[in-house]
């Protein structure tokens, strides 16, 4: 009996989950952002302006959803004052309630653009989170945000000059950027390393591909969210459950199980790979592959042989002939039995 891990459960909606408007340091207004993304087939945009969270519910309609969100930063204090030398955490906070415009991680002192301060409300000012650059502090922020109803993503670790010790012990993240278009354009492409590191440590994080658009750096990385309908609660629920994949081009139409057979259907690809937390790889290559089937019985048997080995998971990567990729989330052992 076929079990759908992805596909077969709802509609796919194209989403950009990281971008900036004229409210912070972007070049386009929120309205212009909606127009430009809808012209390219997007249905969802998370408006993640720097340091202040605003709802854009007035932009949502039957064909478009604006996600209430923002990007907050924590900078490491350095003797050298120039920001180019500063290590930094950048986190996106996505509100599960579209009207939630106060985040427990807010601090007015961090609003670094003068014109952005006009959007700071009295309710926001009541929150004054003491920012400090440390794994312990970031974990506290993630925990508080989760408790307040926010999904939290870890953004562009390569551009942020982050190293293994900065991210390996993070807890409670919802997503990690494996592709950030602006960072890639600037010559700081992200990788799957932080994502896989956290998976191996038992964190159920999702791989995210985003634009981080500030102007014309658009339409490079996106997420496809599978939800029942284009309603705020349904979409955020699907995001929280991990009903999505990320991509720079290829489409993943289905990932399913039929006994010990893992089936993948996708747009025309040159490679379909299935990786695990161990050095166990399933894959196929060709000119224009649109589907593949893998017998994962050896994976399942190894899990039975070494029950103390935890966590165990499989994840799918699809690559097209242009080298563009799509990444599934990790599917853990309890989902694969």
> Would 7-247 and 252-336 be classified into the same CATH topology?
no
Residues in a beta bridge with 210: 180
Residue keyed to tokens 């653009």: 113
Residue 93 Rama label (left phi>0; alpha psi -120 to 50; beta): beta
Model confidence pLDDT, tens digit, residues 55-99: 999 999 999 999 999 999 999 977 667 888 899 999 999 999 999
Confidence of residue 109 (pLDDT cuts 50, 70, 90): very high
Instruction: Give SS3 for 300.
Output: helix
Tell me which of 42-56, 76-90, 159-173 is least confident: 76-90
Residues in a beta bridge with 285: 271
pLDDT of res. 77 = 79
What's the average model confidence in pLDDT over 196-203?
A: 96
pLDDT of res. 79 = 64
Tell me which fold the domain 7-247 belongs to: TIM Barrel (3.20.20)
The domain ranges of the chain are: 7-247, 252-336
Question: What six digits make up the tokens of 114?
Answer: 């003068």
Model confidence pLDDT, tens digit, residues 201-248: 999 999 999 999 999 999 999 999 999 999 999 999 999 999 999 999
Question: What six digits make up the tokens of 19?
Answer: 């971008």
Residue 251 has pLDDT above 80, yes or no: yes
What's the average model confidence in pLDDT over 254-278?
A: 97
Out of 3.40.640, 3.40.50, 2.160.20, 2.60.40, which CATH number does the structure's domain 252-336 have? Answer: 2.60.40
pLDDT of res. 82 = 80
């Amino acid at each position: 009996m076929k079990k759908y891990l992805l596909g077969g459960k709802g509609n796919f909606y194209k989403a950009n989950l990281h971008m900036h408007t004229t409210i912070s340091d972007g070049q386009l207004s929120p309205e212009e952002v909606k127009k430009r993304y809808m012209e390219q087939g997007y249905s969802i945009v998370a408006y993640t302006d720097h340091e202040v969270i605003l709802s854009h519910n007035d932009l949502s309609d039957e064909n478009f959803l604006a996600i209430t969100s923002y990007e907050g930063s924590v900078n490491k204090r350095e003797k050298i004052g120039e920001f180019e030398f500063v290590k930094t955490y950048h986190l996106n906070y996505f509100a599960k309630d579209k009207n939630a415009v106060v985040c427990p991680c807010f601090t007015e002192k961090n609003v670094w653009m003068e014109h952005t301060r006009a959007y700071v409300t009295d309710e926001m000012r009541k929150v004054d989170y003491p920012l400090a650059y440390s794994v312990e502090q970031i974990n506290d922020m993630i925990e508080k945000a989760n408790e307040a109803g926010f999904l939290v993503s870890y953004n562009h670790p390569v551009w942020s000059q982050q190293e293994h010790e900065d991210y390996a012990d993070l807890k409670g993240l919802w997503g990690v950027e494996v592709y950030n278009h602006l960072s890639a354009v600037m010559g700081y492409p992200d990788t799957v390393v932080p994502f896989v590191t956290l998976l191996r440590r038992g964190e159920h994080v999702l791989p995210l591909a985003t634009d981080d658009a500030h102007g014309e750096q658009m339409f490079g990385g996106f997420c496809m969210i599978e939800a029942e309908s284009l309603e705020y609660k349904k979409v955020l629920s699907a995001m929280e459950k991990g009903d999505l994949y990320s991509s720079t081009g290829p489409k993943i139409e289905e990932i399913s199980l039929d006994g010990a057979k893992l089936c993948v259907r996708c747009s025309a690809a040159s490679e379909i790979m299935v990786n695990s937390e161990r050095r166990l790889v399933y894959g196929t290559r060709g000119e224009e592959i649109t589907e593949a089937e893998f017998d994962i019985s050896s994976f399942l048997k190894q899990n039975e042989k070494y029950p103390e080995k935890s966590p165990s998971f499989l994840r799918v990567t699809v690559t097209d002939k242009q080298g563009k990729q799509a990444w599934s989330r990790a599917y853990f052992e309890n989902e694969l039995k």
